[in-house]
Chains A and B, each alone.
Chain A
Amino acid sequence: RKEVEQDPGPFNVPEGATVAFNCTYSNSASQSFFWYRQDCRKEPKLLMSVYSSGNEDGRFTAQLNRASQYISLLIRDSKLSDSATYLCVVTGGGNKLTFGTGTQLKVEL
């Protein structure tokens, strides 16, 4: 089983749509959870941290379910500029980040 598993997509959605991405992780000892965004051939950039209580940042909402080892990201009112690959990232006891393969989002007119 992969350490961090994501549907690679692509998700093609119209502008203004709501889209949700899911991620599962295999290591129950994972401690911290993040969503990063990666544009084509660029570096990963932190989108948001993910907390058990759920957290929201503008149009973005992240949820964590530790019992199911499941993380989600919801994007409301999609913009063209949201087109990117969304990376689910977890850490274990150390500081190293373990990345999923990413989910590609394409927002279209």
Chain B
Amino acid sequence: EPEVTQTPSHQVTQMGQEVILRCVPISNHLYFYWYRQILGQKVEFLVSFYNNEISEKSEIFDDQFSVERPDGSNFTLKIRSTKLEDSAMYFCASDRDRGSNQPQHFGDGTRLSIL
């Protein structure tokens, strides 16, 4: 079964540094998402992306965050100047069709630790 893949599995970064999290969505999927989960808390939506532009973003997704699809396969999340509170699991997800009845497939996540 095709999978969403994420790299790295664990990223340790000094506060204030930039970090890029990478995702390869399932190949025939058109909609891409980033979510985060702070330890012990619920999964939270960050941003959705379709047709090379952001379609929706949450309050969490402020000017420190950006997303990009630099080529036909990768989907990246950049955090420009990391803060301690950015420490979390970051999950990439994708789905195939427009319409909210499609379940999203999640990658196994990147654990981001800010020191």
Residues of A whose CB lies within 8 Å of any CB of B are: 31-32, 34, 38, 41-46, 49, 87, 91-102
Query: For residue B33, which residues in chain A have a CB less than 8 angstroms away from its CB?
Result: 95-97
Task: Report the minimum CB–CB distance from A96 to chain B (whole Å).
Answer: 4
Q: Are A101 and B108 in contact (CB under 8 A)?
A: no
Not counting A31-B100, A49-B103, A95-B99, a sample of 18 additional A-B residue pairs whose C-beta atoms are within 8 angstroms of each other reads A31-B101, A32-B101, A34-B103, A41-B89, A43-B106, A43-B109, A44-B43, A44-B91, A46-B104, A46-B105, A91-B100, A91-B101, A94-B56, A95-B55, A97-B43, A99-B42, A101-B42, A102-B42
A99 touches B44 (CB 8 A): yes
B75 contacts the other chain (CB 8 A): no
Are A101 and B41 also in contact (CB < 8 A) when A42-B108, A46-B105, A95-B95 are?
A: yes
Is B48 part of the binding interface, using a Cβ–Cβ cutoff of 8 Å?
A: yes
**Contact B55 A94, beta carbon cutoff 8 Å:** yes
Most buried by B among A34, A97, A100, A101: A97
30 A-B residue pairs with CB within 8 Å: A32-B100, A32-B101, A34-B103, A41-B89, A42-B108, A43-B106, A43-B108, A44-B106, A45-B106, A46-B103, A46-B104, A87-B42, A92-B100, A95-B31, A95-B55, A95-B56, A95-B95, A95-B99, A95-B100, A95-B102, A95-B104, A96-B33, A96-B48, A96-B56, A97-B45, A97-B93, A99-B43, A101-B41, A101-B42, A102-B42
How far, in Å, is B1 (CB) from chain A's closest CB?
Answer: 11
Q: What per-residue 1/0 map shows which CB atoms of B69-110 lie under 8 Å from chain A?
A: 000000000000000000001010101001111111111110
Decide yes or no whether B35 CB sits under 8 A from chain A: yes
Residues of A within 8 A of B106 (CB): 43-45
* Interface positions of B (Cβ within 8 A of A): 31, 33, 35, 41-45, 48, 55-56, 58, 89, 91, 93, 95, 98-109, 111
